[in-house]
Structure 1
Amino acid sequence: MSVKIGIIIGSTRPGRNGGTIARWVDTVAAKRTDAEFELVDLLDYDLPHLDEAVPAMRGQYANAHTKAWAEKIAEFDGYIFVTPEYNHSTSGVLKNAIDYLYAEWNNKSAGFVSYGAGGGSRAVEHLRLVVAELQIADVRAQLGLSVLSDFENYTTFIPTARHEAQLDAVLDQTVAWAGALKPLRESAGELAAA
């Protein structure tokens, strides 16, 4: 049973490190045969500050940008969130993108690759709270990258064998949980169709 995992680039900042990291994650993931992976760049989705009048839990999206985002996120069985750490949290643009939707996230898995001065661990702590509310099962393994020691001049990511081994653990767990949660997604879909 193959699953599809979205690798979400959680920054739109000019000169961001997230794009390079996410492409490396995708390259490592492409070596696997147990899942299909796809990069999802928030730059490709023009999501203004949350502008839906009806709460996402109702699934009554009014705007074309929300519908396009919902369609993309619904395609996946799990996610790898590549997040920066800004001011001890994740980026505002990633939190905003997450808040747009509800059911599209449910009963799926999530792993985290973070970066920042302290490896982005506080951004992941916050994201774990957020994804739990969306019924996403977050995995224990995570990869934290320090811009002080894992990058050259704070901008050029230099991956090592240690990084790849840690990423493999994140991918192993995310793929396994995505597969394990498939019956829940299927029964939720049957209930919605009834």
Structure 2
Amino acid sequence: MTRIMVIIGSVRPGRVGLPIGAWVVSELEATAGVEVDLADLAEVALPFMDEPNHPILRSYTKPHTIAWSERVAAADAFVIVVPEYNHSFSPVIKNALDFLHHEWKRKAVVTVSYGGVSAGTRGVVLLQPALVGVGLVPTVTNPEINFPTNHINDEGVFEPTETHRTRLEVAVAEAIALSEALKPLRG
């Protein structure tokens, strides 16, 4: 069983990351051998980094950090739903990454980006060094969704194209394979 955490990387009211994340969760739940944990950063509600000690020490003092650490540590891989904000990624993603250190190491990560004409890719390009910096291993395939509101119906449900579905399926398969390969290195 591969435990995959889906992280919704936007906390804005009216965000389209939530319906995209719901689609990712439904696709993962239909994947054999996958257990899903949805981490909506709006609900996780981490404040700006407020721990007195560097995360490498694992000397967490705040209940929200301890809870976040336990959830992230339990995951084998991640799918981060990444909006593009001003040619970059959202600050809540960086904050969520920075709270921890060891919990991210040697685990696969898929980014599902969304935005206007660039489909969020400019944000992912800047996010990649931060992901690698905490020890995550990015997949080669990462779904990209341009003009995401064009794919959300009147009920607020994301309606993916066949390309979106295929790229997510390939990315998840890569994440599962990476997760299995990295497991012995996690100790």
Q: Same fold (TM over 0.5)?
A: yes
Question: How many residues get paired?
Answer: 184
- Alpha-carbon displacement from aligned partner over 1:82-102 (angstroms, at most 9, x marks no partner): 010001111111111111000
1:32 is paired with a residue whose SS is coil
Q: Aligned to 2:140, what secondary structure does the other structure show?
A: strand
Residue deviations 1:142-167 (CA, integer Å, cap 9, x gap): 111012684359x8633111210011
Separation in 2 of the partners of 1:17 and 1:147?
A: 10
Aligned pairs (5 A) from 1:65-84: 65-84=64-83
Over aligned residues, Cα RMSD in angstroms? 1.6
Deviation of residue 46 (structure 1)? 2.2
Mapped partners of 2:109, 2:150: distance in 1: 23
Instruction: Tell me, yes or no, if structure 1 residue 18 matches structure 2 residue 10.
Output: no
Q: Specify whether residues 62 and 148 from structure 1 end up closer, same or farther in structure 2 by C-alpha distance, changes over 3 A only.
A: closer
Which amino acid is 2:121 matched to? S
Give 5+ residue unaligned stretches, structure 1: 187-194
Per-residue CA deviation, residues 26-69 of structure 1 (Å, 9 max, x unaligned), is: 11111211322221111222211111121111111111111111
Deviations 1:69-123 (A, max 9, x none): 1111111011000010001111111111111000110111101101011101011
Assess if the C-alpha contact under 8 Å between 1:34 and 1:175 holds in 2: no
Percent identical residues = 36
Q: Residues 116, 65 of structure 1: CA spacing in aligned structure 2 closer, same or farther, 3 A cutoff?
A: same
After superposition, give the CA deviation of every residue in 1:114-149 in whole Å (9 maximum; x if it has no partner): 101110101111221111111111111011101268
Separation in structure 2 between the aligned mates of residue 147 and residue 20 of structure 1, nearest angstrom:
14
- Is 1:64 matched with 2:63? yes
Code of the residue aligned with 2:147 in structure 1: it is: V
- TM-score, scaled to structure 2: 0.92
Normalising by the residue count of structure 1, what TM-score does the alignment of the two structures yield?
0.89
Corresponding residue for residue 109 of structure 2: 110
Who is 1:125 aligned against?
Answer: 125
Structure 2: tracts of 5 or more residues without a match: none
Supply the distance in 2 between the matched residues of 1:23 and 1:69 (Cα, whole angstroms): 20
Asked if residue 46 in structure 1 is aligned to residue 48 in structure 2, the reply is: no
> How far apart are the structure 2 equivalents of 1:122 and 1:156?
25
